[in-house]
């Protein structure tokens, strides 16, 4: 149960994925094959290290964007909600949806429709809880 809850944490997911990508990119056989495609010889070790850091960073971005994120969406299941609405965790930033400011809390979709025209979908860091408007009808809480 603990492992399942921790793996749903984005930081843990990216850290594990980074470890896998690092292991693959530093594996000696892969390393030697890749050197054939980059015939540049570095005179100083730190230049080689900077080059490897750059390659790793680019690979992490590309693989996270095109492989890891789609894979996580398939595994966790797509919720078919509008992906254009920004998502925030209740513990992050401004977690209020004050009704007295003419904002409207949509409890069905966990979306705050702000009077100024914006929308934000709120989620709880614990996936078993759902955000709701607190007793003060201003702040959001996880219940």
Q: Name the domain count of the chain.
A: 2
Name the domain boundary from 20, 53, 76.
Answer: 76
Per-residue CA distances from 98 to 53, 93, 112 (Å): 46, 15, 9
Q: Which residues are CB-neighbours of 106 under 8 A, at least 6 positions away?
A: 112, 113
Name the domain boundary from 42, 76, 110.
Answer: 76
Q: How confident is the model at residue 93 (pLDDT cuts 50, 70, 90)?
A: very low
Pairing assessment for the beta strands 104-106 and 131-133 based on DSSP bridges: unpaired
Q: Which residues are CB-neighbours of 38 under 8 A, at least 6 positions away?
A: 51
Six-digit token string for 33: 């094959």
Pairing assessment for the beta strands 140-142 and 131-133 based on DSSP bridges: antiparallel
Q: Which domain holds residue 105?
A: 87-142
Instruction: Give mean pLDDT, residues 4-33.
Output: 82
Query: Residues 24, 72: one domain?
Result: yes
Does the model's pTM come out above 0.75?
no
Q: How confident is the model at residue 18 (pLDDT cuts 50, 70, 90)?
A: very high
pLDDT digits (tens, 9 = 90+) for 34-76: 878 877 788 888 888 888 888 899 999 999 888 888 887 777 6
pLDDT above 70 for 113: yes
Higher pLDDT pick, 29 / 31: 29
Query: What pLDDT shows up at residue 3?
Result: 56
Name the domain boundary from 24, 55, 76.
Answer: 76
Helices and strands (H and E) in the chain: how many: 5, 6
What is d(CA 61, CA 58) in angstroms, rounded to the nearest whole number?
Answer: 5
CB-based contact 106:112 (threshold 8 Å): yes
């Amino acid at each position: 149960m603990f492992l399942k809850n921790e793996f749903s944490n984005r930081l843990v997911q990216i850290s594990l994925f980074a470890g896998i990508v690092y292991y693959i990119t530093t594996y000696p056989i892969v390393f030697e094959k890749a050197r054939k495609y980059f015939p540049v010889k570095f005179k100083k070790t730190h230049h080689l290290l900077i080059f490897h850091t750059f390659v790793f960073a680019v690979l992490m971005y590309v693989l996270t964007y095109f492989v890891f994120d789609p894979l996580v969406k398939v595994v966790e299941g797509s919720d078919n909600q509008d992906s254009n609405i920004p998502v925030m965790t209740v513990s992050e930033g401004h977690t209020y949806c004050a009704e007295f400011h003419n904002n409207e809390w949509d409890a069905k979709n966990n979306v705050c429709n702000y009077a100024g025209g914006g929308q934000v979908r709120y989620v709880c860091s614990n996936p078993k809880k759902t955000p709701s408007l607190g007793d003060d009808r201003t702040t959001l809480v996880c219940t």
